[in-house]
């Protein structure tokens, strides 16, 4: 896979995103997309995602994060696109 078709992204999702299965749904979505990285809850009530893989699959994950699982209410998604490094393990929940 050419390096330019891969990327890394850092997301912080705000809203009603804890206690609604957001991390587990993110895990399923990222795994289905073949992404590496992790998802975790933050102390302030946000969910943080760090993922890398094919750029088009990361764009799909970002679009999904704007909706989230059925019980979530997403108010904002802060995204930071970064260069692919290749040092992340298969996607996990932290």
Annotated catalytic sites, by residue? Answer: 23, 41
Residue 67 is given by DSSP the state T
Please list, residue by residue across 15-29, b when 16 or more beta carbons sit within 10 angstroms of its beta carbon and e when fewer do.
Answer: bebbebbbbebbbeb
CB-based contact 84:6 (threshold 8 Å): yes
CA atoms of 13 and 42, how far apart (whole Å) = 10
The conformational region for residue 44 under phi > 0 = left, psi -120 to 50 = alpha, else beta, is alpha
């Amino acid at each position: 896979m050419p390096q330019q078709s891969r990327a890394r992204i850092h997301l912080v999702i705000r809203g009603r995103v804890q206690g609604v299965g957001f991390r587990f749904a993110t895990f399923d979505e990222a795994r289905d997309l073949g992404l590496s990285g992790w998802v975790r809850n933050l102390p302030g009530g946000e969910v943080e995602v760090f993922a890398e893989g094919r750029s088009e699959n990361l764009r799909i994950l970002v679009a999904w994060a704007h909706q989230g699982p059925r019980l979530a209410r997403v108010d904002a998604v802060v995204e930071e696109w970064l260069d692919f490094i290749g040092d992340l393990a298969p996607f996990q929940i932290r």
